[in-house]
Amino acid sequence: MIKIEKSNFGTFIQNLSADYSLFAPVGEGQQSAFREVKNAEQINTHIQITQNSPKTVFLPQTEVLFEFSGDDIQSEEKPAKPMFFWGVRSCDAKSLNLLDKVMGQSKQRPDDPAFQDPYWKARFDDAIILTLACNEPASTCFCNWTGGSPFSKDAGDLWAVETETAYLVEPLSEKGEAFVKGLSGYDTASEKDKQSIAKLKKQAESYLQPAVDAETLKEKLPQTWEDPLWDEVSAKCVNCSACAFICPTCYCFDIQDEGKKDKGKRIRTWDCCMFPIFTKEASGHNPRSLARERVRQRVMHKFRYFWEIYGESLCTGCGRCVRVCPVNLDIREVAKQLLEADSAA
């Protein structure tokens, strides 16, 4: 574990931005997001969690799949420089790994590159993610529900803790290993530093609310399918997509053509299961025409369906949707209500 003194942070960031496209938390409150930075002054180092997750860089809200002119088709997948993400919270680092399972890989056709998303892979495969331990989880955080924790080392290439005077960094993956090897002139963390990590960790964990067991919820969910409780929990939902667009693991998208027949581009842009037209077929038939069905789909997908395929929850407990929902439809409350529901098997 190496130690980057805060007094050296500026130089560290400067050097980093020379070799990588460096992304870090920028901005306050509702405007906060991961954006490309050139120097340390641009970084918001005190932010609990950015409103927009790093997903917005790897799977941007809108991107051009290709441009066409006549029969000629041009596409660009590769970013110019590999990306380095500074200050990703453990929930977000985990969310990138979850997204990679869907976008970068294919459970159903693991060996066929035609089923991997080239744009995602071009960005994600070379990117280095530095997971920054969460010293002060927010009251909306619930990463402990789905197997996460503020100091989790489960995801990311590097792991760092911010102490009063320094950032202590250790590698988590081969990529991280290689990165650390390439650094020179930094001290190794002392015993005292390690003690302070333990102390910070303990304090951070004390901020979290008691966890609800997501695995129990997963087991319970199929029984709730016809439960009138879904009417109750979905009643106030207005079916906007604020929760999904702000979610670090929602990946649904639409593909659209823009321009004219002879010249234009094919783009993809986020879409959301909360919209009735998401599933509406050309015939007019809609398999999920009711708000209740759509809310149920979203909850089921996060807490059940994904688990059936990949063995873990698609919710990382970052709490963004809790904060952003215009009608305060709190996913934590929904989960608790579902668990308490007396649904017939």
Partner 1 sequence: MKNTYIPIPMKVDKIVTEDPEKTLRTYDLNFVNKSDLEKFQYLPGQFCEMSLLGMGESPFGIASSPTEEGFLRFTINRTGLVTNEIHNLREGDAVGIRGPLGNWYPVEDFKGENVVIVGGGFAFTTLRSLLVYLLAHRDDYGEITMIYGARNPDLFIYKNELEAWLKRTDMKLHLTIDNAVDGWQHHVGFVPAVTEELAPSAEKAWVVVCGPPIMIKYTLPVIEKLKFPDERIITSLERRMKCGIGKCGRCNIGSQYVCIDGPVFSLAQLKTIPDAL
Partner 2 sequence: MVKALREEVKRLFEEKKVDLVIGWGKGSLPMTATPIFINKAEDAERLIWDETCSNNLAVYLTKDKRQLVKTDQKIGIVVKGCDGRSLVLYAVENQIQRENLVIIGVPCAGVIDKKKVLKHIEGKEVLSASFEADRMTVEGRGFKTEIAKCDVLSDSCLNCNHPNAPVFDVFIGEPRKSDSVEDVYPDVEAFEKLDSEARWKTMVEAYSKCIRCYACRNVCPSCYCTECFVDQNDPQWIGKSPEITDTLIFHLGRNLHVAGRCVECGACERACPADIDLLKLNRKISKEILERFNFTAGLDINEKPALASFCENEKQDFIMG
The encoded tokens of residue 289 equal: 């025409």
Q: Applying CB under 8 A, which of residues 53, 140, 152, 224 lies at the interface with partner 2?
A: 140
Query: How many of the other CB atoms lie within 10 Å of CB of 3?
Result: 17
What is the strand order of the sheet 21-26 is part of? Answer: 33-36, 21-26, 83-88, 128-132, 158-162, 166-171, 2-5, 187-188
Q: Report DSSP letters for 174-205, one per residue.
A: HHHHHHHHH--S-EEPPHHHHHHHHHHHHHHH
Taking the complex as a whole, how short is the minimal distance between the CB of residue 102 and partner 1, in angstroms? 6
- Residue 62, binding choice from partner 2, partner 1, none, Cβ under 5 to 8 Å by partner class: partner 2
Query: How many of the other CB atoms lie within 10 Å of CB of 273?
Result: 19
Q: Is 89 in the site for partner 1 (CB under 8 A)?
A: no
Q: Applying CB under 8 A, which of residues 42, 297, 337, 343 lies at the interface with partner 1?
A: 297
Q: CA 272 to CA 239: how far, in whole Å?
A: 9
Q: Applying CB under 8 A, which of residues 170, 193, 205, 330 lies at the interface with partner 2?
A: 330
Q: Is 323 in the site for partner 2 (CB under 8 A)?
A: yes
Cα-Cα-Cα-Cα dihedral of 153, 157, 306, 109, to 10°?
Answer: -140
Q: Is 186 in the site for partner 1 (CB under 8 A)?
A: no
Q: Applying CB under 8 A, which of residues 122, 197, 242, 252 lies at the interface with partner 2?
A: 242
Q: CA 103 to CA 277: how far, in whole Å?
A: 23
As a residue count, the chain comes to 345
Q: Applying CB under 8 A, which of residues 164, 185, 260, 311 lies at the interface with partner 1?
A: 260
Q: What are phi and psi of 336, to 5 degrees?
A: -65, -45
Residues that contact partner 1, how many (by CB under 8 A):
55
Q: Applying CB under 8 A, which of residues 5, 125, 219, 232 lies at the interface with partner 2?
A: 232
- C-alpha R_g of the chain: 21
CA separation, residue 185 to residues 4, 16, 84 (Å): 10, 14, 20
Q: Applying CB under 8 A, which of residues 14, 15, 31, 75 lies at the interface with partner 2?
A: 31
Site for partner 2 in 178-207 (CB under 8 A): none
Task: Please give the residue ranges that form the binding site for partner 2 (CB under 8 A).
Answer: 28-32, 47-48, 51, 61-62, 136, 138-140, 232, 235-236, 238-242, 244-246, 254, 256, 258, 267, 269, 271-272, 275-277, 290-292, 322-324, 326-330, 332-333
Task: Please give the residue ranges that form the binding site for partner 1 (CB under 8 A).
Answer: 65-66, 68, 71, 73, 75, 77, 102-103, 106-109, 113-118, 222, 225, 251-257, 259-264, 266, 268, 271, 273, 278-283, 285, 287, 293, 297, 300-301, 304-306, 308-309
